[in-house]
Amino acid sequence: ADFQLDLYNYFIKS
Amino acid sequence: MLEARLSQSMVLKKVVDAIKDLVQDCNFDCNDSGIALQAMDNSHVALVSMLLKAESFEPYRCDRNIALGVNLVSLTKVLRALQNDDLVTLKADDAPDSLNITFESSTADRISEYDLKLMDIDQEHLGIPDTEYAATVTMPSTEFKRICTDLQAMSESVTIEATKDGIKFSCAGDIGNGAVTLRNYQNVEKEHLNVDIELTEPVSLTFSLKYLVNFCKAQPLSDRVKICLSNEVPLLVEYLITGTSYLRFYLAPKVRD
């Protein structure tokens, strides 16, 4: 199935 | 305290109309450089980032950082009263319970005044890194809207592929497949129709069309839209407002497990 990246995790890690 | 007067008042209405179906409660963060907003949708798939710079207002005054916690459904109700050429003024104290919003007709014969109750919104401010995107496409915002809407009729997802040949939007649905390809296009007389594709490396990413169609509600803000893509990085969709003020949307790509 398609999985969508969690933006919260993406930006908080950045 | 905050005092900000906007002559292009419809900008405020268009911004709120563009984001109110994506985010409900958000802080308008005011400081001496302008009014900023950052909010994520409940599913953490899309992020809205707006900046209305101080120079978009005349006058603009904000002595210290003020967070205006606004329910956008409520703000929409107030903005219904806004008429086309009205001047809008936002006023708030340093620790405000409410936001004072005034509409003045351009002939100054009507002044409407509203106080909107504010709320405490605990929102973490996320750091959005400066990204060198592999592909940057600037195109007419109406064209982008039409492509997203047309493809949504066929499928839930769209694959956006940028190569040296152009940018291809393609989808596969139960009834069949569809694709739209745009190539670089320059129109000297009608520059707003230009399609500019800058590419450092080929990109292919898949996104939910529901969100892209939602972003396209910002189309009335600008006749141009900028789309920035890099593999495995959130998509950036940017509408410039006035000057260097902007409304940006970030969207998480779909990845195969």
Partners of residue B206 on adjacent β-strands: B159, B254
Nearest by CB: A7 against B206, B252, B256: B252
Cβ contact (<8 Å) for B126 and A5?
A: no
pLDDT tens-digit series, residues A1-14 = 467 788 888 887 65
pLDDT of the residue at B73:
97
Nearest by CB: B45 against A7, A11, A12: A7
Q: Are B170 and B161 in contact (CB under 8 A)?
A: yes
With contacts defined as CB-CB under 8 Å, which chain B residues touch A6?
44-45, 252
> HSE (CB half, 13 Å, CA atoms) of A4?
17
Q: Are B100 and B131 in contact (CB under 8 A)?
A: no
Cβ contact (<8 Å) for B234 and A5?
A: yes
**Closest residue on chain B to A12 (Cα):** B126
With contacts defined as CB-CB under 8 Å, which chain A residues touch B257?
1-3
Closest C-alpha to B134, from B252, B198, B230 = B230
Cβ contact (<8 Å) for A4 and B45?
A: yes
Q: Is B193 exposed, middle or buried (0-12, 13-18, 19+ CB in 10 A)?
A: middle
Cβ contact (<8 Å) for A4 and B252?
A: yes
Closest C-alpha to B179, from B190, B168, B191 = B168
Q: Mean pLDDT across the stretch B191-203? A: 95
User: Is pLDDT of B194 > 80?
Assistant: yes
Q: Are B18 and B241 in contact (CB under 8 A)?
A: no
pLDDT tens-digit series, residues B198-237 = 999 999 999 999 999 999 999 999 999 999 999 989 999 9
| Residues belonging to chain B | 257
Q: Mean pLDDT across the stretch B78-98? A: 94
User: Is pLDDT of B49 > 60?
Assistant: yes
Q: Mutating which of B45, B130, B206 best tests the A interface, going by the most A Cβ atoms within 10 A?
A: B45
Q: Are B84 and B63 in contact (CB under 8 A)?
A: no
Q: Alpha-carbon dihedral of residues B21, B229, B154, B175, nearest 10 degrees?
A: -150
Nearest by CB: B44 against A1, A2, A7: A7
Q: Is B17 exposed, middle or buried (0-12, 13-18, 19+ CB in 10 A)?
A: middle
User: Is pLDDT of B257 > 60?
Assistant: no
Between A4-8, B131-135, B178-182, B189-193, the lowest mean confidence (pLDDT) is in A4-8
Distance CA B35, CA A13 (A): 25
For B88, the 3-state DSSP assignment is strand
Compute the mean pLDDT over every residue in chain B, rounded to the nearest whole number.
95
